[in-house]
């Protein structure tokens, strides 16, 4: 599925980084994959997996799971995490979400990151046997 110009233009209306809330300018604005292409969506770009971020957060996040980035970033506060999860979830499912749904999605993202890390550790153990 290709991303349309309209979808991309809609994404680029943010005026601050979704991770740290830094104002975005022509010099620091980037588009980030929420989940790296190697981790999800079969390596295909879809609009639901894109967000606008500053160059610093995009580079710092790299290919990390968004929950892992939240855990280790000193700029990604609990309030920003909640705001990010709400926005991401609403774009993903196409409707406004309740506070309870946001809290559940936050737990789901943390659990997913933990499971991916455990799976990677298991693979490494097997490879080293």
Q: Compute the residue count for the chain.
A: 129
When divided into structural domains, the chain yields a total of: 1
* pLDDT, mean of each 10-residue run, the chain (129 residues): 79 86 92 80 74 94 92 92 94 94 97 90 87
What pTM was computed for the model? 0.84
Contact between 51 and 18 under an 8 Å Cβ cutoff? The reply is: yes
Domain that holds residue 105: 5-127
Q: What is the pLDDT of residue 7?
A: 83
pLDDT for the residue 24: 93
- pLDDT given for residue 40 in this prediction: 62
Give φ, ψ of 53 to 5 degrees: -140, 165
Residue 5, SS3 per DSSP? helix
- Kindly give the residue spans of alpha helices, DSSP state H, lying in the chain: 5-11, 55-61, 66-72, 78-93, 99-127
Tell me, what's the pLDDT at 43? Answer: 60
């Amino acid at each position: 599925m290709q991303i349309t110009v309209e979808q991309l233009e809609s994404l680029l209306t943010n005026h601050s980084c979704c991770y740290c809330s830094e104002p975005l300018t022509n010099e620091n604005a980037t588009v980030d994959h929420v989940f790296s292409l190697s981790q999800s969506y079969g390596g295909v770009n879809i609009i639901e997996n894109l967000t606008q971020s500053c160059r610093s957060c995009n580079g710092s996040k790299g290919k990390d799971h968004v929950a892992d980035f939240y855990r280790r970033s000193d700029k990604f506060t609990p309030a920003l995490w909640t705001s990010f999860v709400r926005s991401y979830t609403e774009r993903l499912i196409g409707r406004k979400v309740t506070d309870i749904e946001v809290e559940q999605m936050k737990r789901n993202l943390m659990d997913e990151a933990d499971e991916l890390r455990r799976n990677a550790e298991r693979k490494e153990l097997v490879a080293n046997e």
